[in-house]
Each structure stands twice: as structure tokens, then as C-alpha cells.
Structure 1
Amino acid sequence: MTKLYELPSPFEVETGTVLMLEPAWARAGELRAQLLDESYPKPFVIDDGKSRFLYFNVRLMQSEMSLKTPHDLALRYTQKMMAFLLFQPRPKRLLLIGLGGGSLVKFCHRRLPSTQITAVELDPNVIAFRDAFLVPPDDDRLSIVEGDGAEYLANADKGIDVLLVDAFDKTGFAPSLANQEFFDNAYAKLAGNGVLVINLAGEKESYAGLIGEAMQAFDDQVIVISVPEDGNHMLYAFKERNFDPRWRWLHNYAKELRARFGLDFPAFVTKMERSSKLGLARREAIRGR
């Protein structure tokens, strides 16, 4: 396990211990000043004794892990990303762009035992915190790759069942993913009934045009729902031709998934059906032009 530098939190609200990728001889005063003026160039972790949080700066929390239940999905938006199971219940191949604190990787690795999982993370400093967040080591089902997610996808083999995108830097949504080429590649590399899920967070301007680009690539087969608890939106795009959800069946299936995974799938499917019938994705796309 990587030995982390520990520093009492200098922040008023985020109390606890700051864990940093620094040598033992680093100067605490300098690090404290960099954290406070947001000039510190690496991600860092705050441990408050109950949870661990990954930050790029103190205004942009990336991940949360409960120390008591480290394999659960603590943040609501990560739970809603798992709504792909309503439409793709037994994925063989899952690609995740953006590792963060590894919440989705851990959940999928533990709860989807027949799924091959690859997570691509651009920042080696994020990967360096994998032990702090109890991300399991690579094995025959799990591979964590350092690299650009858009490049990795462009070179990947076709037939990906689920593509999860949760990729951010200090300024918001990762720039290499915010373009039509990425969505066209996603469509090309997904399996025939594949699902793309994107966490849209940060400043709305940073992702305003993405919904329209997703709709263009996926022939308008896109659903967008809000995550008011986290201030995010979630985008789901479906490759399946003539995508026409059987909502009544899905409401029943959601109860089965809730029993299996402990997540509120009935609430997820209710929001998705409402969004689909109201055409919220198209409204957001028009607003983003």
C-alpha cells in the first residue's frame, strides 16, 4: 500500500485528516497553504473517521466511501448510474471511464461476478489512491488502465455491453469526451443492445451541448434524469434499434433488482419513464445550443 502523508485538515467545514501523495519530509505549512489557496496540484483525500472523500479541490468532491460499508455506493448519482441493469442485466463487458475513488468499480466487481471490468483513468495520482479506497487488485476480471478514456475507447474492440463515464478534472467534465467524435465512437463500440451512462456534473456550460451530441449519435434514444441530491444529471443512451421500453414490465423488474442489489431501482425507473414521456432530453439539448 502506498504510504500517504497525513495532515490535520486546514478547512473549516471538511474536518478530519488530509491524506496526500507526498514524501514524509514534505513541509506541512507549505502543503496547508496550497490546499487553502487551491494551488495544490494533485488530488487529495479527507478522512473524517466515518468516510473518505476524494477531492481535486475542496469545492469539487469526487468520491465518497463509508468506512463502515466501503463496498456500498454512498453517493446517489453512483447508484443511479447502476440503472443500466434495468436494460442490460447481465453485461459481459463493462468499460468505465474515470476511476475516482473506485466506488463503481468495487460495486460492479463484487456484485456482477460474470462481468469483465476495465476502468480507464487519466490521472496516475487518482490511481495511486486505489488502496486508500480499498479498490481490489487487478485480476482476471478487473483491469485498471492509466490512459485517456477517449483514446482507449477509439482503439477498443467492439461489443462493449455497458459504457460508464464519470470523468472530471479540476475544471469539470473531461474535455476529450465533450465532442461528437466521442459519442460516435461510443455508439460504434457498444454491443447491439449496449448502454452508455454519463454523469453530467459541474458547471452546466461544460456539458450543455453533450446531450444534443448524444442524441445525434444514438438516434434520439436518450433519457436524461436529474440527481437533485448531488446537483448532477444522468444521461442514458441506448444503441438498441427501435428502443421502446416496456415500462410496466420494468417497474416490476425494478423491485427484483432492488431486492438483489439494495438500490432504489423502482425510483430510478419512475424518473426515467417520466423523463422519457416528457421528452426532457430534447428540452435540455435545445437549451444547450
Structure 2
Amino acid sequence: MAPLYHLPSPFANETGTILLHEPLTARAGELRAQLLDESYPKPFVVDDGQSRFLYFNVRLMQSEMSLRAPNELAIRYTQKMMAFLLFQPRPKRIVLIGLGGGSLLKFCYHRLPGAQLTAIELDPHVIAFRDTFLLPPDGPRLQVLQADGAEYLAQTDKGIDALLVDAFDKTGFAPGLANREFFANAFAKLSSNGVLVINLAGEQESYAGLIGEAMQAFDDQVIVISVPDDGNHVLYAFKERYFEPRWRWLHNYAKELRARFGLDLPAFVQKMERSAKLGLARREALRGR
């Protein structure tokens, strides 16, 4: 791995050091100008001495890692994505589409030792930062592949227990994943009680149609919750036939899992129950019509 190019941050709101995959002979002035006018073509990292952040441009922070706790989930929406554990607490096979800084991958790797993990990332420049974000190397339990997430899903074997999708580019949610074919493949490749989890960010109108496609593919067995801290929503779609959550039991189980995983699962299940009873997913889907 070539050494990273270090550049003092030119951003008023992001102090620290910019880490770039550039030759050490690159001109700092040119790189600074590209970062400021958002013409820099690759992802970059901001290191402020306490955390590292992955950006495509300074307006779109993709990932955060605390240097003190590099394997924990620093951003609220990633914690909420892990709420699939309420329904699938011992997954054997997890597929992640969109690597980012690898927060979800590391959390699953360290907290779920019985799971096989495959991460799919289209952008090789994102994968090139895996050492910067302290990802474990590929091995018997872990594989990071440079590939198109939709194409991988179409070709892979059935039996995925949890499919976590957090895939964005400079313009927003990866367009190749926001269609009916992707959701049909997701449904087909999940195990009988598998769960699809998607991070939805950006303008709500931009992904309302995606929620509708998920509801059609998963026979309306979809829950959507908001993440006010981050301005995101998280979508959960359930393959289980006649999915009927036992909410009272789940509230108690969430306390047990909170102790095990260090996540605020009691608050998450409360939000999921409220959303399910209010029909938030259907309401959001109607925005796309």
C-alpha cells in the first residue's frame, strides 16, 4: 500500500489533516483547490486526531470512526441498522453492499463471530482506505469484493440472513439498487427469515419510490424508522412469511441484546413498533407516487 498524502485541511468546518491516495510528489495547492471546489474525483479522509471521517465531498460525510473505539458504531443510523438483530440474532451469513469506512463490517466481525461476512464495494478508491479505517484483512470469515452490488446479488447463492445496504455515491443512493429487480433479487436470496436493511439518506422524495418497490417485493412486510440525529431513515424488509412481530416479547429481548451488543435496542424497538402501527412505510411510499 502506497503511503498516504497528508494535507492540512482547507475546510473552515473540518479541521485536522486530509488523507489522500496521491503520489507524494502531488502539488498541495492543486489538491487543495480541487477539494474546495469539489472537483477532486476520489474519496478522501479527514483525521482530526479523535476521529476519522470518509467523504466524497465535504457536504456528504460517509463514515466516522472513533480512534479510541474503532470497532464501535459512531453514527446513530448505523446503530439502528443493526436492529435486525432483534429478528435475526445469530446470523450465519451477512452481506453488506457499500463498504464506506467499514463501520458495520467491523462491528459485525467483532460482535458476531459465528457470521460469514461479504462486503461489496464498487469504488476501488473506497476499498483502498480499508487500512486507514483499521478493517481486518480478508480471511475465512471475511471477504471484501470490488463489484457492483446489484450484479453480485443476482449471481450469489441463496441463504443470506442479513443484507445490509448502505451504498451512496456523490449524488446520493446508488441508482443501480433503487429498482424492482434489485428488490426481487434481495427477496429471492434471503434465507426464510432473512432481513433486508437499507440506509436511506438525502431528500425523502428521492427514495419514496424505493420504499414502494420494497413493499411490493416483500408483500408489505416493511418497517421504516427515522433517524433524526442524522436526517436519515432506515428501512427493514422481512422475508419471513406472515411476519407478525411479538412486540411485548421484543421489548424484553431488546434489553437482553442491549447488554450483549452495547446498542440502544430498547429505544429502537419502541420506534419500530410505533412506525409499524402508524403505517409509516406506506405513508412514505405514497410520497413517490
- TM-score exceeds 0.5: yes
The question of whether the paired residues in 2 share the 8 Å contact of 1:45 and 1:53 is answered with: yes
Q: Say whether residues 1:279 and 2:286 are aligned partners.
A: no
Q: Say whether residues 1:158 and 2:155 are aligned partners.
A: no
The alpha carbon displacement at 1:3 in A equals 1.2
Distance 1:275 1:205 in 2: 18
The question of whether the paired residues in 1 share the 8 Å contact of 2:225 and 2:234 is answered with: yes
Q: Say whether residues 1:54 and 2:66 are aligned partners.
A: no
Distance 1:254 1:244 in 2: 17
Distance 1:163 1:271 in 2: 21
Distance 1:181 1:93 in 2: 22
- Aligned to 2:12, the other structure's residue is in SS state coil
The alpha carbon displacement at 1:2 in A equals 4.0
The alpha carbon displacement at 1:207 in A equals 1.4
Larger deviation, residues 197-206 vs 94-103: 197-206
- Aligned to 2:96, the other structure's residue is in SS state strand
Aligned to 1:41: 41
Distance 1:2 1:258 in 2: 40
The question of whether the paired residues in 1 share the 8 Å contact of 2:208 and 2:286 is answered with: no
Alignment of 1:126-205 (within 5 A): 126-205=126-205
Q: What code does the residue aligned with 1:222 have?
A: V
Distance 1:53 1:68 in 2: 14
Alignment of 1:64-103 (within 5 A): 64-103=64-103
The question of whether the paired residues in 2 share the 8 Å contact of 1:162 and 1:195 is answered with: yes
- Aligned to 1:208, the other structure's residue is in SS state helix
Q: Deviations over 1:195-233 (max 9, x none)?
A: 000000123333120000000000000000000000000
Q: What code does the residue aligned with 1:21 have?
A: H
Aligned to 1:232: 232
Aligned to 1:30: 30
Distance 2:274 2:205 in 1: 25
- Aligned to 2:119, the other structure's residue is in SS state strand
Gaps (5+ residues) in structure 1?
none
Distance 2:285 2:207 in 1: 10
- Aligned to 1:224, the other structure's residue is in SS state strand
The question of whether the paired residues in 2 share the 8 Å contact of 1:172 and 1:203 is answered with: no
Distance 1:168 1:122 in 2: 10
The two structures have a TM-score, normalised by structure 2, of 0.99
Q: What code does the residue aligned with 2:81 have?
A: M
The alpha carbon displacement at 1:54 in A equals 0.1
Distance 2:205 2:42 in 1: 24
RMSD: 0.6
Q: What code does the residue aligned with 2:213 have?
A: E
- Aligned to 1:83, the other structure's residue is in SS state helix
Equivalent pairs counted in the alignment come to: 289
Distance 1:143 1:59 in 2: 30
- Aligned to 1:225, the other structure's residue is in SS state strand
Distance 2:206 2:147 in 1: 22
The question of whether the paired residues in 2 share the 8 Å contact of 1:2 and 1:128 is answered with: no
Distance 2:205 2:22 in 1: 34
Identity %: 81
Q: What code does the residue aligned with 2:30 have?
A: E
The two structures have a TM-score, normalised by structure 1, of 0.99
The question of whether the paired residues in 1 share the 8 Å contact of 2:205 and 2:287 is answered with: no
